[in-house]
Chains A and B, each alone.
Chain A
Amino acid sequence: MIWLLRVIAGPLVWAAGFSAVYALHGIGCARGWPGVITPLGTLHDGALIGALVVALIAATLIFVRRPRPPMAPEDRLIAYGAWIGLISVAFTLFPVIAVNTCSVTGT
């Protein structure tokens, strides 16, 4: 079971990060966080980028600790899982940096 958990550790970090960013985004928009100014920017930016950074650090740690060659098949799957986690976090959560508005379009 430990092995299976190591394989899915990266994707689990992505799932947690994705859920956290989605939840924080919804709460922030509903509670007016974009209007709350802090020394580092708005509270909304801070919360979302903070969540992204935490997810990236966790995924990077898993990636750095992945098995290295020569690898048994079991080890290769752990390494693939680490790749999946890191790429997924970086690719799907990068909009946090690029777009952070609460405005609604398309309706």
Chain B
Amino acid sequence: MTLIPHPPQRALPLHREMERVWSRPPGLKGFLTSVNHSEIGLRFMALAGIYFGIGGILAMLIRTQLATPQGAFLDTALYNQIFTMHGSIMMFLFAIPMLEGLSMYLLPKMLGTRDMAFPRLSAFGWWCYLFGGLILLVALAAGMAPDGGWFMYTPLSSRTYTPGVNADVWLLGVTFVEISAIAAAVEITVTILRLRAPGMRLTQMPLFAWYMLGTSAMMLAGFPPLILGSVLLELERAFDWPFFDVARGGDSLLWQHLFWLFGHPEVYIIFLPAAGAISTILPVMCRTRILGYEAIVAAIVGLVFLSFGLWVHHMFTVGIPQMALAFFSAASTLVAVPTAVQIFAWTGTMWKGTPRLSLPMLHLLAFFATFVLGGLTGVMLAVVPFNWQAHDTAFVTAHLHYVLIGGFVFPMMAAAVYWLPLMSGRVRVRGVGEVAFALIFIGFHGTFLIMHLTGLLGMPRRIPVYPDNPEWALPNLISTLFSFMMSIGFVLFALDLLLHALFGRRSTRDPWQANTLEWKMALPVPSYNIAALPVSTDITAVSLARGEGALPGAPRGRREVLAVSSLDGKAQHVAVLPGNTLLPVVTAAMVGVFVLLMLFGAYILACTAMLGVLVCGWTWHRFGRDLRPARIEITPGQTLPDQTGVEGSLTRSGMIALIIADASLFGSFLFALGFLSVIAPGWPPPDSGLGLGALLLGGVALGALAVASGLARWSRGPLPGALAGVLALVAVLGVALLLDDPTRHARDALRAAATGYAALHIGIGVLLALIARTRAPATAAASRSIWRLWQDFTLITVAILTLLVVAQEVLS
């Protein structure tokens, strides 16, 4: 279907009409209620910048302590907290939120739409990030911060060796922030697949969107193992369920597996968006087109998969059988190939073009110099014999900083300088940025290049003093001196941004002559992005501002965008997005109260906070209840239905993405179950005593779930389906009562956790059925299809869990 654009209108009235609908109220009320992607994206980036500053200050404290062999600057307990918080902040509170913010800010603009698919989810994610981060920071200020290292290995982080709340702060605070990451991954996925400009095929979209699609897929699959690990460890710490206790059938290595199942893909989750920024900025700086678009997309696909086959290389020294060492080593070296494909594509782009050495390009050159070195030391560490020598030394610290600062921070600084005119409508004040760049580049290499040598000389990570090793003193002192140079550089970089915001001249539109879609917006970008959605590639900024495209203005007083098919971008329906609301902040606050009550051991009260979350969830779905099915003219002569009558709604796509994350969580649980039953000592466990009663109740639960799944396919099914769900829930709770004491053995703890998983899913299924029930039949298609998806997933997972328990009983 070729869409013919609307004829031009007067730009100013159109702008005012759009602003009335898309802008937010001024002041605190607007701050609390805004769901706009530009504002939320900027907030993510600003807060991530603040956390980066805090993490950087902690790094300086560490370097000061290590400047001399007998540093007396920090005592050991505080030092432990500081290096733990440095790593945790940089990973969880800086890198991931920064990439989320950048993609939230840019994606709708690059894809030619007006907002993310789920604006309230964006805002909810930001509030979760704020509250979760505050919990960690307050704990640091109160001297109760986590102190077991940023990967929280058990048994050090178990109750026996960390009796205070330090580890709980990490487990609950980070999980809180992870909720934000999953929320972002869901909506990034749906936005890229369903909200592109009409006619934009997947293979035509900007490379940045491909990179973010890969990143969000990795987040959906990669974060759940950590969430599961955190939940299991918190259950062990709070209720003594022995998942990681070797004496009772647990295994501390399970934590390492779950952590690195997340932790290694995490490196690529951080790198891919930065690579997306490079692939966008580099051709503009070189005044040419990117070389090897399809090869880069293939490299992204390769990285997304291969990066999940490397996690064990973080555990080469724990006692892994030789063959497993061999194939994890092979995968670790193979992953360098898709990375190299991108490096060659970028190098070829520079070779083909005419590079200009402006500030973004300087940062990109620094990226090449740094990241390639980090990649090479990564290949060294992938080789088992070398890994055994360098494991847990300063060599690894140097390697990871080359990869993360080279592969993320330099590209992000390039991105900041490149896209700032879009955000502020101003151009940079020349001079300060260049000095900042020089200080950061020289300071970084001065700090970390020599740290490789420190590591090869045998200095372990995370030690506060080294009085018996005078040979480490000079390299450490050099690292410390250069680290302060780097810090001054980062302060100047922040000053550059401030000067830009305060004194920068007004920018012309598209100051880099990029000619890409995001630069076709007015500067600074208005709340609605574009007055009309582009329907062809030969659009201009003026034509978009005059409404020459699809869905111009906001004549119905609603926030409307076009939903398209995922592959070819064919327009499918008009999606109405929610406006400003307090719901995200209230829901995040409820989750925050839940986390705090858990932290202080008030578990009963925490359940009441969960009820508050449920009430918020119920209120959440009320948006759109008043919509009635209608056909809307998107271009002259072309009408499409709105979302009310369609089954393939954005929410359904979001539910599919969420179920992928849930399936990853479930898969991680199956891994934990398999790992403990096969590897952990102390198996087989004592007799369970589960008998016919449990079997019957399990059968009733499965039968009721099967009935609910069947009813979910029937238009009058929601109420009976909800009742069937309640019956299943009662049966599962009955099974729970028959289980053995979960503190007795890891097998019993796993069964209790599986029962909790099943009960939670059945409960949500009941809620979704009731939501479908509240909708009028003509508008209930989307709600029913979402409930059906969830119900089917619940049925499958509960059936698998039941079969596994039965198999355990039969085989034991």
A interface residues (Cβ-Cβ under 8 A, vs B): 1, 3-4, 7-8, 11-12, 14-15, 18, 21-23, 25-27, 29-31, 48, 73-74, 76-77, 80-81, 83-84, 87-88, 91-96, 98-107
Q: Shortest beta-carbon distance, B58 to chain A, in Å?
A: 32
Contacts between chains A and B (CB distance < 8 A), count:
120
Q: CA of A93 to CA of B330 in the docked complex: distance in angstroms? A: 8
In the bound complex, do residue B203 and residue A74 qualify as a contact, i.e. CB atoms below 8 Å apart?
yes
A103 and B327 contact, CB distance less than 8 A: no
Measured in the bound complex, the distance between the Cα atoms of B422 and A34 in whole Å is 63
Does B566 count as interface, using CB distance less than 8 angstroms?
Answer: yes
A66 to B325, CA, bound (A): 32
- Which residues of chain A are near B308, meaning CB under 8 Å? 15
Q: Does B323 lie within 8 Å of A95, measured CB to CB?
A: yes
Using CB atoms, name the residue of chain B closest to A72.
B203
Neighbouring A residues of B318 by C-beta, 8 Å: 107
Given contacts A11-B302, A98-B326, A106-B316, are A18 and B331 in contact (CB under 8 A)? Answer: yes
Question: Would B679 and A30 count as touching, CB distance under 8 A?
Answer: yes
Residues in chain A near residue B297, CB distance under 8 A? 77, 80
Given contacts A80-B295, A107-B318, are A22 and B305 in contact (CB under 8 A)? Answer: no
Supply 9 further A-B pairs (C-beta < 8 A) apart from A11-B302, A22-B324. A14-B305, A18-B327, A18-B331, A88-B305, A91-B334, A96-B323, A101-B323, A106-B319, A106-B325
A30 to B678, CA, bound (A): 6
Minimum CB–CB distance for A97 against chain B, Å = 10
With A and B bound together, what is the CA distance between A83 and B299 in angstroms? 11
- Residues in A with CB closer than 8 Å to B338 are 84
Taking a contact as CB atoms closer than 8 A, the residue among A81, A100, A101 that contacts B301 in the complex is: A81
Which residue in A18, A80, A96 is a CB contact (below 8 Å) of B309?
A18
Q: Write out the residue numbers on chain B whose beta carbons fall within 8 Å of the beta carbon of A3.
A: 202, 567
Residues of A within 8 A of B804 (CB): none
When the two chains form the complex, which single residue of A23, A76, A95 contacts B326, counting CB atoms closer than 8 Å?
A95
11 contacts between A and B (CB under 8 A): A11-B305, A73-B294, A80-B298, A81-B301, A84-B298, A93-B330, A100-B323, A103-B322, A104-B321, A106-B317, A106-B319
Selected contact of B679 from candidates A26, A87, A91, CB within 8 Å? A26
Instruction: Decide if B737 is an interface residue (CB 8 Å cutoff).
Output: no
* Chain B residues with CB below 8 A from A73, complex form: 203, 293-294
Q: Report B176-213 CB contacts with A as 1/0, cut-off 8 Å.
A: 00000000000000000000000001110000000000
With both chains docked as a complex, state the minimum distance between the C-beta of A52 and any C-beta of chain B, in angstroms: 10
Min CB distance B679 to A, Å, is: 6
- Chain B positions within 8 Å of A88 at CB level: 302, 305-306, 331, 334
CB distance from B252 to the nearest CB of A (A): 14
**Closest partner residue, chain A, to B327 (CB atom):** A95
**Alpha-carbon gap, A52 to B679, bound state (A):** 23
Picked from A23, A25, A96, the residue with its CB within 8 Å of the CB of B321 is: A25
B678–A27 CB distance below 8 A: yes
Q: Contact at A92–B294, with CB atoms within 8 Å?
A: no
Closest residue of chain A to B656 (Cβ to Cβ) is A1
Tell whether A93 pairs with B327 under 8 Å between CB atoms, given A15-B305, A30-B678: yes
CB-based contact A104/B319 at 8 Å: yes
- With a cutoff of 8 Å between Cβ atoms, the chain A residues found around residue B334 in the complex are 87-88, 91-92
Partner of A23, one of B293, B305, B327, B674: B674
Question: Size band of the B side of the interface?
Answer: 35 or more
A77 to chain B, nearest CB (A): 6
In the assembled complex, the CB of B203 is this many whole angstroms from the nearest CB of chain A, namely 4
Q: Which residues of B contact A (CB under 8 A)?
A: 201-203, 293-295, 297-298, 301-302, 304-306, 308-309, 316-327, 330-331, 334, 338, 384, 388, 566-567, 674-675, 678-679
A residues in contact with B325, CB < 8 Å: 105-106
Quote the shortest CB–CB distance from A88 to chain B (angstroms).
Answer: 6
A84 touches B322 (CB 8 A): no
Best-buried of A3, A88, A101, A103 by chain B (most CB within 10 Å): A88
Q: What is the distance, in angstroms, from A24's C-beta to the closest C-beta of chain B?
A: 11
Nearest CB in chain A to that of B332: its residue = A92
Which residues of chain B come closer than 8 Å to A18, judged between CB atoms? 309, 327, 331
Chain B residue with minimal CB distance to A7? B301
CB-CB under 8 A from B304, the residues of chain A are: 11
Which residue, of B298, B674, B679, has the highest number of chain A Cβ atoms within 10 A? Answer: B298
Least Cβ–Cβ distance between B328 and chain A, in angstroms: 8
Residues on A with C-beta less than 8 A from B316 are: 106
Check A99 against B301 for contact (C-beta < 8 Å).
no
Bound complex: CA of A4 vs CA of B297, how far in Å? 12
- Kindly report which residue of chain B lies nearest to residue A2, judged by CB atoms: B567
Q: Which of A4, A21, A76 contacts B327 (CB 8 A)?
A: A21
B196 to chain A, nearest CB (A): 14
User: Is A106 in contact with B330, judged by CB distance below 8 angstroms?
Assistant: no
- Across the interface, which residues of B come within 8 angstroms of A106, CB to CB? 316-317, 319-320, 325, 384, 388
Q: How far is the CA of A17 from the CA of B558 in the complex (A)?
A: 49
Q: Which of B304, B321, B331, B384 has the most CB of A within 10 A?
A: B321
Q: Verify B567–A4 contact, CB threshold 8 A.
A: yes
Roughly how many angstroms separate A31 CA and B677 CA in the complex, as a whole number? Answer: 11
Beta-carbon contact of B203 and A92 below 8 Å: no
Residues in chain B near residue A83, CB distance under 8 A: 298
| Contact across chains for A101 and B322 when beta carbons are under 8 A apart | yes
With A and B bound together, what is the CA distance between A103 and B321 in angstroms?
5
Contacts of B321 in A (CB 8 A): 25, 29, 101-104
CB distance from A46 to the nearest CB of B (A): 14
Residue of A nearest to B333 (CB): A91
CB-defined contacts of A29 to chain B, threshold 8 Å:
321
Contacts of B302 in A (CB 8 A): 11, 84, 88
For residue B297, which residue of chain A has the nearest CB? A77
A91 to B335, CA, bound (A): 11
A99 to B293 CA separation, bound complex (whole angstroms): 38
When distances are taken between beta carbons in the complex, the residues of chain B under 8 Å from A76 are 294
Across-interface contacts of A80 in B (CB, < 8 A): 294-295, 297-298, 301
Which residues on A sit within 8 Å (CB–CB) of B294?
Answer: 73, 76-77, 80
The answer to whether B567 and A11 touch across the interface, beta carbons within 8 angstroms, is no
**Set B202, B293, B319: member contacting A107, Cβ < 8 A:** B319
Q: Which of B301, B319, B323 contacts A84 (CB 8 A)?
A: B301
Task: Specify the chain B residue showing the minimal Cβ separation from A85.
Answer: B305
Report Cα–Cα, A3/B679, bound state, in Å: 40
